[in-house]
Amino acid sequence: MNENLKQQLEQLRQVLEHHNYRYYVLDDPEITDAEYDRLLRELIAIENQHPEWITPDSPSQRVGAPPLQVFASMQHTLPMLSLDNSLDEAEMREFNQRTRRLLDTTEEIEYLCEVKLDGLAVELIYEKGLLTIGATRGDGIYGEEITRNLKTIASIPLRLRTTAAAIPERLEVRGEAIMPLREFRRLNQSRLEEGEPPFANPRNAAAGSLRQLDSTITAGRRLDFYPYGIGVCSAPLPQTHNQLLQWFAILGFKTNPLAKICTGIEAVIAYHRDMMEQRDTLGYEIDGIVVKVNDLAKQERMGIRSRSPRWAIAYKFPAREEITRVENIIAQVGRTGVLTPVAVLDPVRIGGVTVSRSTLHNQDEVDRLDVRIGDWVVIQRAGDVIPKIVRVIRERRDGSEIPYILPDRCPACGSHTIQSPGEVAWRCVNLSCPAQLKERILHFASKGGMDIEGMGEKLIDQLVEKGVVQSIADLFFLEKNQLIELERMADKSAEKLLAAIAASRQRPLDRLLFALGIRFVGEHISRVLVDAMGNLDSIMQSSVEELLAIHEIGPQVADSVVTFFAQAENRQLIVRLKAGGVQFQSMEKKRGDKLAGKTFVVTGTLAHYSRQEIEQRIEELGGRAAASVSRKTDYVIVGENPGSKAEKARELGVPILSEEDLLNMIGEQRSGN
Nearest C-alpha neighbor of 172 from the set 119, 110, 237: 237
**Cα dist from 383 to 201, 285, 380, 390, 404, whole Å:** 12, 11, 9, 13, 27
Query: Three-state DSSP class for 640?
Result: strand
Question: Do 554 and 582 meet the contact criterion of CB atoms below 8 Å apart?
Answer: no
Going across the sheet that includes 386-392, the strands are 353-359, 339-350, 320-333, 376-382, 386-392
Q: What is the pLDDT of residue 672?
A: 45
Classify residue 593 as exposed, middle or buried by CB count within 10 Å of its CB (0-12, 13-18, 19+).
exposed
Q: What CATH topology corresponds to 2-63?
A: Helix Hairpins (1.10.287)
Where do the structural domains in the chain lie, given as residue ranges?
Answer: 2-63, 85-316, 320-396, 429-588, 599-666
Q: How far apart are CA 564 and CA 85, in angstroms?
A: 42
116 is catalytic: yes
Q: How many CB atoms lie within 10 A of CB 361?
A: 17
pLDDT at residue 383 in the model: 44
pLDDT at 40: 75
The pTM is what?
A: 0.50
384: left (phi over 0), alpha (psi -120 to 50) or beta: left
| Alpha carbon distance, N-terminus to C-terminus of the chain | 42
DSSP per position, 644-673 = HHHHHHHHHT--EE-HHHHHHHHT------
- Report how far residue 330's alpha carbon sits from residue 303's, in angstroms, rounded to the nearest whole number: 47
Q: Contact, 159 vs 130, CB < 8 A? A: yes
Helices (H) and strands (E) in the chain, counts: 24, 22
Cα–Cα distance, 487 to 33 (Å, whole number): 33
Q: Which residues of the chain have pLDDT under 50?
A: 383-384, 671-673
| Whole-number pLDDT of residue 345 | 95
Cα separation, 193 vs 186, whole angstroms: 11
User: φ, ψ for residue 567 (rounded to 5)?
Assistant: -75, 125
Question: What is the second-level CATH architecture of the domain 85-316?
Answer: 2-Layer Sandwich (3.30)
Q: What b/e sequence results for 213-236 when a residue is b if at least 16 CB atoms lie within 10 Å of its CB, and e otherwise? A: bbbeebbebbbbbbbbbbbebeee
At residue 187, what are phi and psi to the nearest 5 degrees?
-65, -45
Q: How far apart are CA 636 and CA 643, in angstroms?
A: 11
Strands 635-638, 599-603: pairing is parallel
Is the distance from CB of 209 to CB of 221 less than 8 angstroms? yes
Catalytic residue among 6, 116, 438, 458: 116
- Structurally, at CATH architecture level, domain 599-666 sits in 3-Layer(aba) Sandwich (3.40)
Q: In angstroms, how far is CA 623 from the centroid of its own chain? A: 35
How far CA 408 is from CA of 6, 416, 426, 433, in Å, comes to: 68, 6, 9, 15
Relative to beta strand 417-418, strand 427-428 is: antiparallel
- pLDDT for residue 671: 47
In whole angstroms, give the CA distance from residue 156 to residue 21: 9
CA 160, CA 593: separation in Å to the nearest integer?
Answer: 56
Helix, strand and coil percent figures for the chain, each rounded to 5: 40, 20, 40
Topology (CATH) of 320-396: OB fold (Dihydrolipoamide Acetyltransferase, E2P) (2.40.50)
- Identify the CATH homologous superfamily for domain 429-588: 5' to 3' exonuclease, C-terminal subdomain (1.10.150.20)
